[in-house]
């Protein structure tokens, strides 16, 4: 079979069974990339993941780009990326269109409302998880200082979060990079 078709199938399967965003699909992608299609060796996969984690942006699409290019050049990138993002994007657009049609109905209004506390709790979990990880790696004093300053900047001074993140990069590169 053509490699790009295999890429299409492999990345489609890995992402369509991954719930909870890109990071949770990593083990599924590993299964397709290493033991199943042998696009990368285990060591290459870990190296690639390390590089992917040190770059910003969604992780699934970075893996797709790397593996696609490695296995079949730019055609491979296109196939792997399309298989990763298109099915779920189309599904979301179709579902939202259906819901928008019935926007004024009490049914959809109730659904929108009841989902808010669930989202709040999921955000709470993500907050706790990333705080914990951060405290473990840089200590609670650094964590608290950076968190308080960024809260003040974003919430009180209305600074664009992008600028705050760039500021954090500079700070981290200079003071935490030793």
Within residues 12-41, the interface with another protein by CB under 8 A covers 15-23, 25
Contacts of 14 (CB under 8 A, 6+ apart): 25, 28, 29, 31, 32, 84
Residue closer to another protein by CB (options 38, 178) is 178
Would you state the structure tokens that stand for residue 52, as one six-digit string?
């992917």
99 binds another protein (CB under 8 A): yes
Give 153's DSSP letter. I
| CA trace torsion 2, 19, 22, 110 (10° rounding) | 130
Stretches 1-9, 30-38, 153-161: which one binds another protein (CB under 8 A)? Answer: 153-161
Round to whole Å and give the CA distance between 5 and 41: 20
- Binding to another protein by residue 151, rule CB under 8 A? yes
Which among 2-10, 35-43, 115-123 is the span making contact with another protein, rule CB under 8 A? 115-123
- Token output for 44: 């290459």
Give min distance, CB of 90 to another protein, in A: 8
Instruction: Considering the complex, state which of residue 42 and residue 161 has its C-beta at the smaller distance from another protein.
Output: 161
Considering only 35, 38, 43, 93, the residue that binds another protein (CB under 8 A) is 93
Asked if 104 touches another protein (CB under 8 A), the answer is: no
DSSP state of 129: H
**What minimum distance in Å lies between the beta carbon of 2 and another protein?**
20
Is residue 43 part of the contact set for another protein (CB under 8 A)? no
What does the H/E/C string look like for 48-81? HHHHHHHCCCCHHHHHHHHHHHHHHHHHHHHHHH
Exactly one of 35, 106, 141, 157 binds another protein (CB under 8 A); that residue is 106
* Binding of residue 101 to another protein (CB under 8 A): no
């Amino acid at each position: 079979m053509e490699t790009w078709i295999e890429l299409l199938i492999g990345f489609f399967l890995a992402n369509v069974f991954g719930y909870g965003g890109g990071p949770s699909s990593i083990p599924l992608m590993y299964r397709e990339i290493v033991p199943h299609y042998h696009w990368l060796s285990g060591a290459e996969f870990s190296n690639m993941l390390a590089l992917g984690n040190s770059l910003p942006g969604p992780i699934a699409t970075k893996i797709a780009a790397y593996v696609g290019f490695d296995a079949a050049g730019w055609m491979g990138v296109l196939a792997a990326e399309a298989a990763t993002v298109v099915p779920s994007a189309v599904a979301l657009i179709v579902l939202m269109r259906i819901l928008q049609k019935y926007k004024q109905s009490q049914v959809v209004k109730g659904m929108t409302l009841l989902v808010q506390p669930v989202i709040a709790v999921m955000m709470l979990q993500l907050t706790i998880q990333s705080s914990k990880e951060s405290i473990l790696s840089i200590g609670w004093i650094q964590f608290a200082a950076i968190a308080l300053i960024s809260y003040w900047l974003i919430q009180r001074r209305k600074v664009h979060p992008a600028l705050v993140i760039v500021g954090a990069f500079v700070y981290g590169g200079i003071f935490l990079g030793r």
